[in-house]
Copies of this chain bind each other. A is one copy, B any other.
Amino acid sequence: MLRTHTCGELRLEHVNQEVTLAGWVQRVRNKGGLIWVDLRDRYGLTQLIFEEDSSEKALLEKAAELGREFVVQATGKVIERTSKNDYIPTGSIEIKVTALEVLNAAKVPPFKIEDETDGGEELRMKYRYLDLRRNVIREKLQLRHKMMQETRKYMDEQDFIEVETPVLIKSTPEGARDFVVPSRTNPGEFYALPQSPQTFKQLLMVSGFDRYFQIVKCFRDEDLRADRQPEFTQIDCEMAFVDQEDILNTFEGLTKHLFSKVKGVELEEVKRMTYADAMKYYGNDKPDLRFDMKFVELNDLAKGKGFGIFDQAELVVGICAKGAAEYTRKQIDALTEWVKRPQIGAKGMIYAKYNADGTIKSSVDKFYSADDLQDWADAFGAAQGDLMLVLSGDADKVRKQLSELRLKMGEELGLRDRTVFKPLWVMDFPLLEWDEETERFHAMHHPFTSPKKEDIPLLDSDPGAVRANAYDLVINGVEIGGGSIRIHDRATQQLMFKHLGFTEEEAQKQFGFLMEAFEYGAPPHGGIAFGFDRLCAIFGGSDSIRDYIAFPKNNSGRDVMIDSPSSIADEQLKELSIQLAVVAKS
């Protein structure tokens, strides 16, 4: 090695040892014939010292010429520092350098390589290799490393086998858009990159692998939002001979293991909630349970009192913000404007303040008596000092709006603490959801999800009411995993495809291999997949997954560092039997 120790390793016990360190120059200070250099590597920071009286002149000159981010190798004796730095583990010592070699010079970096940087996002993406030098970014990827190792450790202990499934697979029309790969050896044909290894993991269950997992790259050619990447990573799992309860327990176990080993947090039992309740009480299939503020429906109390807006609404529903009665009129007006923004879309907002003196002041005092408002307060479980906020309108829409308002109030009141973790199983999702655009039902999860046995008769009469054996793991309002018990017989799978609008021929062409596999002895099975990038972000207390990905793409799907995608040679196109058909921009 070009070093005897790392920059994070030396302590008082090493004093008088001759050592060699290598790393990057973080800082150079030059004062009164003394030069100090902070040398940095992944493991820490160590101070080098050059003294005019004892160091050779040439050495001192060399030290004086060091710039930020130079890569150097320094040899010298460990000595005790006179003024210790308690903030870093190596702060009690420094190295009195006797030999210095510049291993590589460095241009001045385009932004500061420090925890707080002055680089904008695009610049940091272009020089991602410099951004990754910053401790705060590198630590996020070290967290990810630890998450991976601990995930594998747990899964291995639980007898899961890690199996790599193929990346070059087959395009299917179901689900999101595929990335495709033209085949040179099969002209006119294409592979597709997997959106998930779904069918392969089910085939592994048919193969008797019993318990499978994989930490695997998946791909979706979707229009990107801030928090989406065209390639992302899943913890992908499947088990045979299980029912839903077994899967929930096994992966509650994984979640607890990760929190314990990676965060040192001992998680309480994961709560469970039906999809129906999540929508009714939180207006959201991924409620943030770090705070309560449940929805309270007020139709019985609010209607028929002459307030037209409520009378005409399908649903009047509100939340009670504990201790928020101190909100000023101005703050409440701002909230009203906020819910009326097009992104939220509410028509307006009603409030009722439970004052410290026991009176209730509302924006609809004209229509509701003090007793009426007291009834509201009782329904909300409101006490003095609380603020009730009420929306009304079309039931589905108003629930969504109120869900946004609830999250905003949680944020404003400081109830969404990033160091608190509230996991939740949301269960009994609908099997199908109606798609307005195509005017047909789509699989809410995917076409391999099994319906609840008792709901199968509804498939013909009321498809939207059929519940699936499907479940999501939600932490702090973020969906981090989802799965289901699968269909494992040909007849049910065919029925499902029929209800999704596949002709028999289409179903056979796309998924014939799976349905045929079900005829050769398929065991009952089910599984789950975790969004690994998002899981890491949650663990790191961050909203964005991008920092947890070593080399992310930007919002147009470009890697600005390597400048990809890019044009390819005509010869390549020819070999692949394709040609460009780019429509010129007018």
Q: Determine the chain B residues whose CB is within 8 A of the CB of A190 once the complex forms.
A: 565-568
Q: Is A208 close to B, CB under 8 A?
A: yes
- Which residues of chain A from 176 to 222 have a CB within 8 Å of any chain B CB? 177-193, 199-200, 203-204, 206-210, 217, 219, 221
Q: Check if A242 is an interface residue, CB within 8 A of chain B.
A: yes
User: What's the Cα separation between A173 and B230 when bound, in Å?
Assistant: 24
B170, A149: Cβ atoms under 8 Å?
no
* Closest B residue by C-beta to A20: B241
CB atoms of A520 and B148 under 8 A apart: no
Given A132-B209, A145-B161, A164-B217; 6 other pairs, CB 8 A cutoff: A1-B241, A132-B207, A133-B207, A141-B161, A141-B163, A186-B565
Can you identify 12 A-B contacts, CB atoms within 8 angstroms? A1-B243, A103-B523, A145-B162, A167-B167, A170-B565, A173-B569, A180-B181, A183-B557, A183-B565, A189-B565, A200-B550, A203-B561
Mark contacts of A515-543 with chain B using CB atoms, 8 A cut-off: 1 yes-contact digit, 0 otherwise. Answer: 00111111110000000000000000000
- Of the candidate stretches A364-372, A412-420, A570-578, the one touching chain B is A570-578
Closest residue of chain B to A533 (Cβ to Cβ) is: B164
A577 contacts which chain B residues (CB < 8 A)?
580-583
Contact B519 A107 (CB under 8 A): yes
Would you call A204 and B132 a contact (CB within 8 A)? yes
Copies in the complex: 2
Residues of B within 8 Å of A105, CB to CB, are: 521
Interface set of A (CB-CB < 8 Å, partner B): 1-3, 6, 22-24, 40-43, 69-71, 73, 103-107, 109, 127-130, 132-133, 138, 141-142, 144-145, 148-149, 152, 156, 161-171, 173, 177-193, 199-200, 203-204, 206-210, 217, 219, 221, 223-224, 230-231, 233, 241-243, 246, 488-489, 513, 517-524, 549-551, 553, 556-559, 561-569, 572-583
In contact, B210 and A41 (Cβ under 8 angstroms):
yes
The answer on a CB contact under 8 Å between A133 and B208 is yes
A374 to chain B, nearest CB (A): 53
Chain B residues whose C-beta falls within 8 Å of the C-beta of A142 in the assembled complex: 161
Among A170, A566, A575, the most chain B Cβ lie within 10 Å of the Cβ of A566
Q: Complex: how many Å from CA A165 to CA B128? A: 13
Cross-chain contact of A189 among B145, B208, B566 (Cβ < 8 A): B566
A579 and B578 in contact (CB under 8 A), knowing A2-B242, A564-B191?
Answer: yes
Query: Are B104 and A523 neighbours in the complex by a CB distance under 8 Å?
Result: yes
The answer to whether B204 touches A556, judged by C-beta atoms less than 8 angstroms apart, is no
How distant is A540 from chain B, measured CB to nearest CB, in Å?
15
CB distance from A569 to the nearest CB of B (A): 7
| Residues on B with beta carbons closer than 8 Å to the beta carbon of A24 | 208, 521
A246 CB contacts on chain B under 8 angstroms: 1
Asked if B579 contacts A581 (CB within 8 A), the reply is: yes
The complex places the Cα of A242 from the Cα of B520 at a distance, in Å, of 54
Cβ–Cβ < 8 Å partners of A230 in chain B: 168
Known contacts A69-B521, A523-B103, A582-B577; A179/B170 CB under 8 A: no
A109 to chain B, nearest CB (A): 6
Instruction: Pick the contact of A104: B189, B231, B233, B522 (CB < 8 A).
Output: B522
Find chain B residues with CB under 8 A from A206 CB.
129
Please indicate the chain B residues that have their CB under 8 angstroms from the CB of A162 in the complex.
145, 148-149
- Determine the distance from Cα of A41 to Cα of B103 in the docked complex, in whole angstroms: 58
- Residues of the B chain whose Cβ atoms lie less than 8 Å from the Cβ of A182: 180, 182, 578
Chain A to chain B: the 5 pairs with minimum beta-carbon distance, closest first: A106-B521, A132-B207, A170-B564, A189-B565, A69-B521
Contact in complex: A562, B199 (CB < 8 Å): yes
Chain B residues with CB under 8 Å of A170's CB are: 559, 562-566
User: Is the CB–CB distance between B130 and A520 below 8 Å?
Assistant: yes
Interface centre among A142, A156, A189, A204, by most chain B C-beta atoms within 10 angstroms, is A189
CB of A40 to closest CB in B, whole Å = 8
